[in-house]
Amino acid sequence: DTGVSQDPRHKITKRGQNVTFRCDPISEHNRLYWYRQTLGQGPEFLTYFQNEAQLEKSRLLSDRFSAERPKGSFSTLEIQRTEQGDSAMYLCASSKPSGSNTGELFFGEGSRLTVL
């Protein structure tokens, strides 16, 4: 399978614990995005990388959230001191380099977080 893969698919944690999600993009894609989706809403942009550089962060990304893409390949999204309001589906997407990029993003199946 050469699509975007995310791990874990489901995570249940207690309030105050730290969680980390991993995303492996499509191999030739240099842009990687994180989105959050809550029930009944469309995905909301969190942050994105071009290669290893984090180019933009949403105001939704509080200081408890940190994302990395150290080698320009896979990425991790860590949430520290989780709160019940963090419960959501965290989506990763990737896209082709600019020049061949029509704006289409390719999404993984998401990592569902439940904070008890």
Closest CA to 109 of 27, 28, 24: 24
φ and ψ of 32, to 5 deg: -135, 135
Q: Interface with other proteins includes 1 (CB under 8 A)?
A: no
Q: Interface with other proteins includes 100 (CB under 8 A)?
A: no
Nearer of residues 28 and 56 to other proteins, judged by Cβ = 56
CA distances from 69 to 26, 79, 85, 116 (A): 14, 15, 25, 28
Instruction: Report whether the peptide linkage leading into residue 8 is cis, meaning its omega lies within 30 degrees of zero.
Output: yes
Smallest separation, CB 15 to other proteins (Å): 27
Residues 96, 29 contacting (CB under 8 angstroms): yes
Q: Interface with other proteins includes 25 (CB under 8 A)?
A: no
Nearer of residues 17 and 51 to other proteins, judged by Cβ = 51
Q: Residues binding other proteins: what is the number (CB under 8 A)? A: 24
Q: What tokens were used for 105?
A: 């993003």
What is the pattern of x (binds other proteins, CB under 8 A) and - over residues 38-77? --xxxxxx--x------xx---------------------
Smallest separation, CB 102 to other proteins (Å): 6
Residues 58, 67 contacting (CB under 8 angstroms): no
Please tell me the total number of residues recorded for the chain in this structure. 116
**Interacting residue ranges for other proteins, rule: CB under 8 A:** 4, 31, 33, 40-45, 48, 55-56, 91, 93, 98, 102-110
